Amino acid sequence: MADAIPTPYKINSLRGTYYEFPRKEDILGGHYHSQGQGHITIVQSGCVAIKSLYLDQAWEKVGKAGDVFDLPDEQWHEIVALEDNSKILNIQKG
């Protein structure tokens, strides 16, 4: 297991980060976004699991290429590759 490989993404006022997961189980480790600073995740290829890291608010979402997720602000979460060569684009909301 290794960290996902980030690449900054910017087109005009749209900003975000593109992440590559070369191997299954590569991870974008636990992180948190303050109010209004969350992101929309677009699964570009492969398959990923997006997991809440709060025991009292546990959830997991699985996404395949083409799926879009509007992740909640103020909640710790992580993203784990379920297939080799998975890719996502996180677009900042704030």
pLDDT tens per residue across all 94 residues of the chain: 788 999 998 888 889 999 999 999 999 998 887 777 788 999 999 999 999 877 777 889 999 999 999 887 788 889 999 999 999 999 988 6
**For residues 26 and 3, is the Cβ–Cβ distance under 8 A?**
yes
Q: How far is CA 27 from the centre of its chain?
A: 9
Give the end-to-end CA distance of the chain in Å, rounded to a whole number: 31
Q: Cα(46)–Cα(64) distance, rounded to whole angstroms?
A: 6
pTM, whole model, 2 decimals? 0.88
**For residues 87 and 66, is the Cβ–Cβ distance under 8 A?**
no
- 5-92 — its CATH code? 2.60.120.10
